Amino acid sequence: MIKVILTGHGHFASGMKSSLELLNGPSLDVVDIDFKAGDSFEELGNSINKIVADNIEDEWIILTDIPGGSPFKAAALAKINNPKIQVCSGCNLPLLMEIILSKDYAENTDILIDGAIENSKQSLTKLVL
């Protein structure tokens, strides 16, 4: 089974999960880990690793807010030690929705993520009046 970890600065992760559930209902396969002021990088990494270790039979997609930030680095370190983890940065709600709605039908996580990235790019628009 493919599961998702959302992580990012502040309340990014819990806010994304809240928005997802408002639109799509409860998301049992999505775990949110906020990286709040005062949290340490080590705590964040430990949280990610514990969730994955407790669900070792699953594949994981870790979605982070910005590339190069602490949540991204913690996810990258988790990936180094586990081939069942994929990491994607720059998460937005359309990307998350695409992954959640498509994950049960995807051939593999690489194809799922690549398709979700491509489709979520189409959601970026500029209103011109």
pLDDT digits (tens, 9 = 90+) for 4-56: 999 999 999 999 999 999 999 999 999 999 999 999 999 999 999 999 999 98
* Per-residue pLDDT, 81: 86
Average pLDDT over residues 106-112: 92
- Name residues whose C-beta falls within 8 Å of residue 63's C-beta, 6 or more positions apart in sequence: 4, 5, 6, 7, 16, 88, 89, 91, 95, 96, 99
The count of C-alpha atoms lying within 13 angstroms of the C-alpha of 22, restricted to the half-sphere facing its C-beta, is 7
Q: Taking 90 as the threshold, does the pLDDT of residue 99 lie above it?
A: yes
pLDDT digits (tens, 9 = 90+) for 51-74: 999 998 999 999 999 999 999 999
Give all domains of the chain, ordered by start, each with its CATH number: 2-121 (3.40.50.510)
For the entire predicted model, the pTM comes to: 0.94
